[in-house]
């Protein structure tokens, strides 16, 4: 299982404004979903900026989390 959440999302919303935050959130969601799909993750639930995915193995879940972190760090 993998749970994600955007740390400081309320603060970010205030800093960016609603329109820009919606764009950033959409980009975030696309990247998370794409990365999870690369590791055969299945989306169970999403609420706001949080996701819940399941994977065939813990190794796949960890690899997905690492890949997503790298993608966010590089701005991909």
How far are the Cα atoms of 3, 12, 13, 38, 40 from residue 34, in angstroms, in the given order?
15, 23, 23, 6, 10
Domain layout of the chain by residue ranges: 2-74
pLDDT of 16 strictly over 60:
yes
* Confidence class for position 76, pLDDT limits 50, 70, 90: low
Structure-token match 């590791």, residue found: 39
Contact of 51 with 64, CB cutoff 8 Å = no
> d(Cα 20, Cα 33) in Å, to the nearest integer?
20
Q: Are strands 50-54 and 2-4 parallel, antiparallel or unpaired?
A: antiparallel
Decide if domain 2-74 falls under CATH 3.30.70.1230.
yes
pLDDT tens, position by position, 32-44: 999 999 999 999 9
> d(Cα 2, Cα 52) in Å, to the nearest integer?
6
What count of other Cβ atoms lies within 10 Å of the Cβ of residue 39?
21
Write down the pTM of the prediction: 0.86
Q: What is the structure's pLDDT at 72? A: 86
Report the percentage of the chain scoring pLDDT > 70. 97
């Amino acid at each position: 299982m993998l749970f994600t959440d955007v740390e400081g999302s309320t603060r970010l919303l205030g800093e960016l404004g609603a329109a820009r935050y919606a764009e950033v959130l959409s980009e975030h969601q696309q990247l998370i979903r794409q990365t999870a799909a690369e590791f055969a993750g299945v989306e169970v639930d999403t609420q706001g900026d949080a996701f819940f995915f399941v994977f065939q193995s813990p190794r796949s879940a960890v690899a997905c989390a690492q890949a997503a972190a790298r993608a966010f760090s590089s701005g991909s």
